[in-house]
Amino acid sequence: MDQELADPAPLAALIGALRRLPGVGVKSARRMAYHLLQHDQPGAIALTQALAQALTELRHCERCNTFSVEPICALCADPRRDATQLCIVETPADQNVIEASHGYRGLYYILMGRLSPLGGAGAEEIGLARVLERAADGVVREVILATSFTAEGDVTAHYLGDALRARGLTVTRLARGVPAGSELEYVDAGTVAWALAERRS
């Protein structure tokens, strides 16, 4: 491309910073930069302030590792929750899904990631030591592994399950099977195979 058309340095820096966001390529980053600078400067200012504030004010809950302003988040501090159950999820979004099911009244631990042997995320990145310390508080009886049913989520569940069972804890995993409301004809074969293997009387 011609030299005359190099982006001005501050624009190039902004496009570069936006590209670091997950799922954002160079064309999207450029479109976002134009939008913020041309059509939504208040939005750009809001984003700057929100980022700065989130970086300074948010910490990790000392018990469940989710994002929190307080040392202990509201859910961990709630005495109505059943402290004998600990559900391990990958992200706060996954935790939201479980809460929305209204099927669980225990506590959580949020990994904020998962093992990714190929991606270079090992036991340290998911903070295995903290998970084990949390689960071994003497009150937790059952640990429910609710990581994703993907290759990486399964590896994570396997790895955590082994370590937790070795410490004498009861470890369970979310059931696999046919999703609620689905017509069998449209369910993939892998799911049906699991549903058959784990059929219940």
Binding site for its own copies (CB under 8 A): 1-2, 4-11, 13-14, 16-18, 20-23, 27-28, 30-41, 43-55, 57-58, 67-69, 73-75, 78, 91-93, 95-96, 99-100, 112-113
CA distance 55 to 41: 21
Provide CB contacts within 8 A for 117, sequence distance 6+. Answer: 155
Nearest alpha carbon to residue 89 among 54, 60, 124, 131: 131
Smallest gap from residue 197 Cβ to its own copies (A): 31
CA distance 86 to 89: 10
Nearer to its own copies, 108 or 171 (CB): 108
Smallest gap from residue 185 Cβ to its own copies (A): 28
Smallest gap from residue 115 Cβ to its own copies (A): 14
Nearer to its own copies, 10 or 190 (CB): 10
Smallest gap from residue 84 Cβ to its own copies (A): 18
CB of 150 closer than 8 Å to CB of 195: no
Nearer to its own copies, 101 or 201 (CB): 101
Nearer to its own copies, 44 or 132 (CB): 44
DSSP H or E segment with residue 33: helix 26-34
Beta bridge partners of 143: 86, 171
If 0-12 CB within 10 Å is exposed, 13-18 middle and 19+ buried, where does residue 38 land? exposed
Smallest gap from residue 77 Cβ to its own copies (A): 9
Phi/psi of residue 172, nearest 5 degrees: -125, 165
Nearer to its own copies, 18 or 164 (CB): 18
Residue 170: both structure tokens together: 């009861």
